[in-house]
Structure 1
Amino acid sequence: MSSFRTSPAVSRKSLPLRLAGRMSRMTWVDIAVAAAVLVLLYMTVRVGQGTTVRFSTSQSAKIDTDPWQLPYYAARSLLRMFVALALSTVFTFVYALAAARSRRLERILIPALDILQSVPVLGFLTVAVAGFVALFPGSMLGLECASIFAIFTSQAWNMAFGFYHSLTSLPRELDELSRSFRFTRWMRFWKVELPAGAIGLVWNGMMSFGGGWFFLVASEAISVGNKNFALPGIGSYAGAAIIDGDLGKIGWAILAMTVMVVGVNFFFWRPLTAWIEKFKYEQSEASEIQRSVILDFLRRSHWPHLLGRLLRPLGRGLARAGRIFGIDDRPLTVSPRHRRTGDIAFAVVAGGLILWGLADLLDYLRDRSGLGVFGEPLLLGLATLARVIVVVVGATLVWVPIGVHIGFSPRLTRIAQPLVQVLASFPANFLFPLAVWFFLRTGLSLDVGGVLLMALGAQWYILFNTIAGAMSIPTDLREAMDDLGVRGWQRWRRLILPGIFPSYVTGGITASGGAWNASIVSEIVPFGTTTLTATGLGAYISHATADGNYPHLLAGVAVMSLYVVGLNRLFWRRLHRLAETRYTT
């Protein structure tokens, strides 16, 4: 009996032919998705045209506060936010992978991340504005890059910390499985590490995006050295309205911000949080899962499948490149003596560079104002430190139970996520009029009231990381606890606290750094002709930035970095080591 065999040319159609066959079966859903993407690209190009117009440092920084300008300003702000988010994601992958895979690099990169997190946004802006304006002379692109860089600094550190902790707490069985199959580093990242850290990465990205909104006013309405630079955006619009004391226009800015945050949550973050449910590490499927109208609509389209086929050759190319350059997970056969010698040499070089930089900084300060300039910020830092401790402890007591409840309930997550995102994304500057009115009416000093404003920019890191940690707890473990009748404090001690502890430590580290950063805008509150000032390091740095007093600014930033790094080394790093050694599955 003869058999019929198709020729290879027939059985293996070329990629263009297969794509053409799929495109011929497109439905109205595919057409709608394609039209939406084209409209989005068109709007991006149209809005992006304003970033390359001519600009002079001597021109007026006046922002048109006509409410009809808000749609365009909102689009400009959204473009900056998403560009900064894309850069932060790339930075997160590169930085966290380097720190997690190399003990030698980890000793430098993680302390450096502590320092970078501690440097306030205004400290980065001082350098970024001058640098990018000189890099793009006569073009608005210089200010755009400086603004994006400032937003990037408010997003990247939290995401890098979170993904690094996910990599270092990777379940042992997944690590052993990838090594037994001899995955290349690209395969290990794509198949094991990224899925294992996807939930924390998305929720930290959402929180970091909210952190970018929080500092939007500072990144779009820049004042450095008695020079004012402003970019069209909702942050600069709100800043101008606050300076004018116009409550009506501030209300329009708050309305526009609310619409943007809810829209971004509906079209971007909600589909992502529903999609990452597939990466939960569990043996039984949850009875309830998150849903997204946008994600369900995209799943009915052929475009994601076609895009995956088009990108598949890229993945194969990266895997081949990894094999060509010997990038695999086979351990190097290096003797302990050589390893010890290499570590000592690396530490000597890195330490020499750090000491050289510190010596140069001290020479600069000694020539300009003397080393006594550190005395005042060191004392003021104690006041800010007390506020930071109150914020972190209060946020832990309030938001950890709430975050666990939200993370355990997909139905509640659908309701709470947009609300929390709106609250976390609101810049403190938008609430200055209400804060000034409340403090003046109640007689509450900003020394105490500043804690509330600092909490607006820091407490959400703990909430978002707690939600991510609770969502990562396998459903089968929760069901086992239910079957055994474990309730109350025993359930918290045996399941919840160990399950969320690594995520909480990440949230605590970033909340502590975020509180220090938020002190810049929380210890000095202007509205119209009224300005309230608290005693603290944040107000000291704000005054130095506005006056262009670079010795005081450098001293304030250095002292703030010292406090943040010291707190992380003495407290948070010990908790992180505990999470790695005792609470890793």
Structure 2
Amino acid sequence: MQTFPSPEALRRLPAGVADVAIVFGTLVLLALIAQVGTGAFVRFQPPAVVPQIDLDPRNLPYYAARSTLRMFIALGFSTAFTLVYGYIASKSRWAERIMIPLLDILQSVPVLGFLSITVTGFIALFPGSLLGLEAASIFAIFTSQVWNMTFSFYQSLRTIPQELSEATTLYRLSAWQRFTQLEVPSAMVGLLWNAMMSFGGGWFFVAASEAISVLNQDYTLPGIGSYVEAAIRAEDLPKLGWALLTIALVIVLVDQLFWRPLIVWSDKFRLEQSAGMSVPESWLYDLLTTARIPRLLNSWLTPTRELLDRLLSALTRPQGVPLRDPERQQRQDRLLTQILLVVIGAILVWILNFITTTVGWGEVLLTFGLGILTLLRVALLLVLATVVWTPIGVAIGFNPQLARLLQPVVQFLAAFPANFIFPFATLFFIRAHISIEWGSIVLMSLGAQWYILFNSIAGAQSIPTDLREMAVDVGLRGWQRWRQLIIPGIFSAWVTGGVTASGGAWNASIVSEIVTWGSTTLTATGLGSYIAEATAVGDWPRITLGIGMMSLFVVGFNRLLWRRLYQLAEEKYHL
């Protein structure tokens, strides 16, 4: 059953109806952005008190709009960071040696850690304005979105089919032409799915990013996350229910008005030699392609775009022209190694001084043991998520009918902030007498498992249809089909999902190993609860130690496992 008009039906509408709808929708959107955005420019000077959250459900549309605007601003910055950082890391051998380990470290730092470090600076950057707190909140959401997208883009650039890379060299495309005509298009499907997952991950931490502690004073920004926090403190289940309904409506609207059209648009970037696969559909995308205004704007902008393209192409060398001679490369490698040794030595000296003068070695051993417990939870989560969600993701990616039915469902589940239902889970654990030591694994999985699912879907969709048809023709079935087609085809995407799911699980441990409902608090033994408790009392030495130990575990896990799997994907499992 078709809910929305088809492109053919839209084209039969009277001339200009689609254009009127687009103009009206654009004006409404701009008006909403202007109306909501003005709330970020009110005067604010610490230690002034930000007005408390009003639990009247009639305020929920405004609060939801404020949070959604922060999410999209953070997504814009995340996309720009991803394209620049991922490109540099994939192109420069010496830069990769620094940037990828740094990315591992940044991914391992909890959102609370970024907030604790940066919020004072943002307030100083915008004196006398609430914009400083808004910027701190957006930056915190940015840190929950960007790492997953960057890993996806970096890995896509490293696994571009060899024959396509050789073609760009043969035709002497400039670096800019290669970037716009090969690298970004080939990474688009995986990047889009990871952007959707990252957007959902941003909802997971929106509550923490809207309740900010600075200068021994708590400040709460208007938003759906802070509304939920206020409802939890008040133990008001009806108000919490209204908030959950509101966020569900926001997720559906964002999917229909933003993600669904992008999914349809990105389908043209699939590496296909067969036309046998059904394409996704979007009523808004059909409306945009039917209207005359987008085509008119495109024709106006074409000369400017072509001029910019020629300028950037002239400024970048064709691929295949060596930029450095081997001897210079060796000298740079030696210099880089020396710099890294000096930096690592300085860090080790600082760490030893920090431990001996503040926390002591006993506290270090305690946090290491807590880290082992959290690591076991993360490992168990990854195994279960892989066993459960990888087959489902492959089925969705391979079957257009199933994808059309289930993609909206999994997108909604992934985008829904799992910590919004933590209060109900806490009540269930209390009444069912379930230990939070095990229950925290379930809470962590609610936010982290979707990275495995989304990357499995993206990996399955990136397998060309002609290869799938060939596998059917030669009679590949069951485990043989998985071993010879599916696992090699999705391996790179699955590794990206595993890396980001692992990092997301470590980050989620802070809010899942200690949960609260009113005056009742359940605490699991682990590094996440250690950091959360230290943050609550403002114990900076313990906060620093906890974040540092978590970073050590994440980076070590990535170096020992995920980086080797990445190398295997680059050398063996790619087209």
Give the TM-score range, shorter chain: over 0.9
State the alpha-carbon separation in 1 of the partners of residues 201 and 192 from structure 2: 14
Instruction: Report the Cα offset of residue 51 of structure 1.
Output: 0.4
> What are the equivalent positions in structure 2 for 1:11-50 lying under 5 Å apart?
27-50=16-39
Deviates further, 390-399 or 317-326: 317-326
Task: Describe the shift of the 1:312–1:185 C-alpha distance in structure 2 as closer, same or farther (beyond 3 A).
Answer: farther
Is the 2:393–2:457 Cα contact (8 Å) retained in structure 1?
yes
Give TM-score scaled by structure 1 length. 0.93
Instruction: Report the Cα offset of residue 213 of structure 1.
Output: 0.5
Match of 2:429 in 1: 439
State the alpha-carbon separation in 2 of the partners of residues 449 and 147 from structure 1: 29
User: Does structure 1 residue 266 correspond to structure 2 residue 262?
Assistant: no
Over residues 178-197 of structure 1, what are the superposed CA-to-partner deviations in whole Å (9 max), with x where a residue is unaligned?
Answer: 11111111111111111101
Is the 2:75–2:142 Cα contact (8 Å) retained in structure 1?
yes
The one-letter code sitting in structure 2 at the alignment partner of 1:458 is: A
Instruction: Report the Cα offset of residue 224 of structure 1.
Output: 5.2
Instruction: Report the Cα offset of residue 481 of structure 1.
Output: 1.7
Instruction: Report the Cα offset of residue 562 of structure 1.
Output: 0.5
Over residues 278-306 of structure 1, what are the superposed CA-to-partner deviations in whole Å (9 max), with x where a residue is unaligned?
Answer: 11111111342111111111110123323
The one-letter code sitting in structure 2 at the alignment partner of 1:404 is: V
Deviates further, 163-172 or 440-449: 440-449
The one-letter code sitting in structure 1 at the alignment partner of 2:157 is: L
Instruction: Report the Cα offset of residue 333 of structure 1.
Output: 6.0
Say what the alpha-carbon RMSD is for the aligned residues: 1.7
Match of 2:11 in 1: none
State the alpha-carbon separation in 1 of the partners of residues 24 and 406 from structure 2: 31
Say which of 121, 125, 130 aligns to 1:131.
121
State the alpha-carbon separation in 1 of the partners of residues 155 and 145 from structure 2: 16
Give TM-score scaled by structure 2 length. 0.94
The one-letter code sitting in structure 1 at the alignment partner of 2:494 is: Y
Task: Describe the shift of the 1:324–1:351 C-alpha distance in structure 2 as closer, same or farther (beyond 3 A).
Answer: farther
Match of 2:9 in 1: none
Match of 2:131 in 1: 141
User: Does structure 1 residue 489 correspond to structure 2 residue 485?
Assistant: no
Percent sequence identity over aligned pairs: 54
Is the 1:428–1:521 Cα contact (8 Å) retained in structure 2?
no
Is the 2:176–2:316 Cα contact (8 Å) retained in structure 1?
no
Deviates further, 57-66 or 139-148: 57-66
Say which of 411, 418, 421 aligns to 1:428.
418
State the alpha-carbon separation in 1 of the partners of residues 49 and 352 from structure 2: 36
Match of 1:341 in 2: 331
Q: What SS does the corresponding residue of 1:197 show, helix, strand or coil?
A: helix
The one-letter code sitting in structure 2 at the alignment partner of 1:544 is: A
Q: What SS does the corresponding residue of 2:213 show, helix, strand or coil?
A: strand
State the alpha-carbon separation in 2 of the partners of residues 454 and 515 from structure 1: 6
Instruction: Report the Cα offset of residue 31 of structure 1.
Output: 2.0
Instruction: Report the Cα offset of residue 227 of structure 1.
Output: 2.5
User: Does structure 1 residue 162 correspond to structure 2 residue 152?
Assistant: yes
Say which of 567, 572, 575 aligns to 1:582.
572
Task: Describe the shift of the 1:256–1:177 C-alpha distance in structure 2 as closer, same or farther (beyond 3 A).
Answer: same
Deviates further, 359-368 or 26-35: 359-368
Q: What SS does the corresponding residue of 1:228 show, helix, strand or coil?
A: strand
Instruction: Report the Cα offset of residue 359 of structure 1.
Output: 3.5
Deviates further, 142-151 or 339-348: 339-348
The one-letter code sitting in structure 1 at the alignment partner of 2:493 is: S
Is the 2:261–2:284 Cα contact (8 Å) retained in structure 1?
yes
Instruction: Report the Cα offset of residue 425 of structure 1.
Output: 2.3
Match of 2:43 in 1: 54
State the alpha-carbon separation in 1 of the partners of residues 226 and 546 from structure 2: 25
Q: What SS does the corresponding residue of 1:222 show, helix, strand or coil?
A: strand
Instruction: Report the Cα offset of residue 225 of structure 1.
Output: 6.7
State the alpha-carbon separation in 2 of the partners of residues 282 and 175 from structure 1: 16
Is the 2:385–2:449 Cα contact (8 Å) retained in structure 1?
yes
User: Does structure 1 residue 291 correspond to structure 2 residue 304?
Assistant: no
Is the 1:221–1:228 Cα contact (8 Å) retained in structure 2?
yes
Match of 1:544 in 2: 534
Task: Describe the shift of the 1:328–1:88 C-alpha distance in structure 2 as closer, same or farther (beyond 3 A).
Answer: same
State the alpha-carbon separation in 2 of the partners of residues 328 and 320 from structure 1: 13
State the alpha-carbon separation in 2 of the partners of residues 428 and 216 from structure 1: 11
Match of 1:88 in 2: 78
Over residues 237-291 of structure 1, what are the superposed CA-to-partner deviations in whole Å (9 max), with x where a residue is unaligned?
Answer: 0011011111011101100010001111111111111111111111111342111
Instruction: Report the Cα offset of residue 337 of structure 1.
Output: 2.8
The one-letter code sitting in structure 1 at the alignment partner of 2:70 is: R
Instruction: Report the Cα offset of residue 367 of structure 1.
Output: 3.6
Instruction: Report the Cα offset of residue 312 of structure 1.
Output: 3.2
The one-letter code sitting in structure 1 at the alignment partner of 2:482 is: W
Gaps of 5+ in 2: 1-13
The one-letter code sitting in structure 1 at the alignment partner of 2:40 is: T
State the alpha-carbon separation in 2 of the partners of residues 358 and 83 from structure 1: 37
Match of 2:378 in 1: 388
Match of 2:8 in 1: none
Instruction: Report the Cα offset of residue 361 of structure 1.
Output: 5.1
Task: Describe the shift of the 1:370–1:316 C-alpha distance in structure 2 as closer, same or farther (beyond 3 A).
Answer: farther
Is the 1:167–1:197 Cα contact (8 Å) retained in structure 2?
yes
Over residues 487-515 of structure 1, what are the superposed CA-to-partner deviations in whole Å (9 max), with x where a residue is unaligned?
Answer: 21111111111111110000000001110
Match of 1:14 in 2: none
State the alpha-carbon separation in 1 of the partners of residues 98 and 569 from structure 2: 21
Say which of 166, 180, 184 aligns to 1:194.
184
The one-letter code sitting in structure 2 at the alignment partner of 1:473 is: I
State the alpha-carbon separation in 2 of the partners of residues 142 and 363 from structure 1: 34
The one-letter code sitting in structure 2 at the alignment partner of 1:167 is: L
Is the 1:284–1:476 Cα contact (8 Å) retained in structure 2?
yes
Gaps of 5+ in 1: 1-24
Is the 1:225–1:545 Cα contact (8 Å) retained in structure 2?
no
Say which of 431, 445, 455 aligns to 1:465.
455
Is the 1:322–1:328 Cα contact (8 Å) retained in structure 2?
no
Match of 1:21 in 2: none
Deviates further, 302-311 or 460-469: 302-311
